[in-house]
DNA sequence: ACTAGAAGTAGTAATAGTTACTACTTTAGG
DNA sequence: CCTAAAGTAGTAACTATTACTACTTCTAGT
């Protein structure tokens, strides 16, 4: 990987902040130092840095949302090559480590666990709001 | 929610298959029965059924990928209103249930846990492949 | 059964996030 | 200090999804 002022500035920015920025957020902030950097450059460099292992991408899932008639919350393994999604039992979740590889035959390369909810501030704001008026 | 043949057919399709289909996959399959259903209708109905609780959406995260200089795998809580991402300790993962709400003050409404890796078939295919030729 | 209006539909345009392409520029090794 | 590989800005293209519009269907009350 060759040096470039763009890449250096992007990396410094990601390292300096701790708000899990999107590419767009990094673009906005880096533009203050390099006003005519392009968004494409930000994306390309972020992905290179991820590939190099310097930073991490908290990525959703490729290829769009998936739907399931099993409505209880449950975990999945996702093949990054064929895009198949496979159900996991709750039990195997509790012993995350090797169990999942044993259960599925997958070689697990990474995981993102994202719990979704409403944070304390947003809960408080909601309380003071009328639903309609 | 009013009856419509489109919604019924979509729901039947999701219930009949167990491959965690995308909206596009459902569209392709429902089109065999209703050749001029529109993709927008599929999306609208799927989202309505999710809202009603009949089916579940395994959704990534809204608003694009996020980047992090903390490269070790770790979990997050994601506020569905302000889009903030907050780091979770590995310990709290092990006792999923109430611990996360205590730790973060979030009201957890759902979670998708997606482990990413390469499935058994794709691993085998890879073995028989040359990297270049 | 008939009808009004709410809810739904097809088809198209628009949007967000991201990647691809192109002609030009920068970097770094000999 | 020259050259080839790697990087860049700017733009176009692409994918997944939602919004909009004019038309159609469903259903509750007569």
pLDDT band of residue A42 (cuts 50, 70, 90) is very high
pLDDT at residue A72, as a whole number: 64
* Mean pLDDT, residues B46-66 taken together: 77
Sign of CA dihedral B110, B115, B120, B125: positive
pLDDT band of residue A131 (cuts 50, 70, 90) is very low
pLDDT at residue A31, as a whole number: 96
pLDDT band of residue A132 (cuts 50, 70, 90) is very low
Cβ A41 vs Cβ A26: under 8 Å = no
Contact B75 A114 (CB under 8 A): yes
Contact B67 A111 (CB under 8 A): no
pLDDT at residue B51, as a whole number: 84
pLDDT at residue B131 tops 80: no
Smallest CA–CA separation between A1 and chain B, in Å?
A: 18
Closest CB to B66: pick one of A20, A109, A119. Answer: A20
Report the residue count for chain B: 133
Q: Which residue has the higher pLDDT, A1 or B99?
A: A1
pLDDT at residue A10 tops 70: yes
**What b/e sequence results for A50-89 when a residue is b if at least 16 CB atoms lie within 10 Å of its CB, and e otherwise?**
beeebbbbbbbbeeebbbbbeeebbbbbbbbeeebbbebe
Query: Which helix (H) or strand (E) element contains residue A118?
Result: strand A107-118
pLDDT at residue B132, as a whole number: 37
* Mean pLDDT, residues B21-43 taken together: 94
pTM: 0.72
Sketch out chain A's domains with CATH numbers. Answer: 5-52 (1.10.10.10), 69-133 (3.30.1490)
Q: Closest-CA residue in chain A for B125?
A: A81
Q: Which residues of A touch B115 (CB under 8 A)?
A: 75-78, 88, 100, 106, 108, 110-111
Highest mean pLDDT among A121-125, B31-35, B110-114 belongs to B31-35
Closest amino acid to nucleotide C28 (CA–C1'): A2
pLDDT at residue A53 tops 70: yes
Q: Which of A7-16, A35-44, A99-108, B95-104 has the lowest mean pLDDT?
A: B95-104
Closest amino acid to nucleotide C16 (CA–C1'): B63
């Amino acid at each position: 990987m060759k040096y470039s002022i763009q890449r250096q500035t992007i990396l410094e920015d990601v390292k300096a902040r701790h708000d899990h920025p999107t590419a767009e957020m990094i673009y906005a902030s880096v533009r203050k130092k390099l006003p005519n950097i392009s968004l494409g450059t930000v994306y390309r460099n972020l992905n290179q840095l991820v590939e190099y292992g310097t930073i991490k991408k908290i990525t959703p899932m490729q290829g769009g949302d998936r739907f399931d008639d099993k409505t209880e919350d449950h975990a999945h393994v996702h093949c990054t090559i064929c895009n198949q999604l496979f159900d996991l039992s709750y039990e195997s979740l509790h012993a995350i480590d090797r169990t999942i590889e044993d259960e599925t035959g997958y070689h697990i390369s990474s995981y993102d666990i994202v719990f979704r909810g409403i944070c304390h501030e947003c809960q408080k704001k909601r309380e003071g709001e009328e639903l309609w008026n």
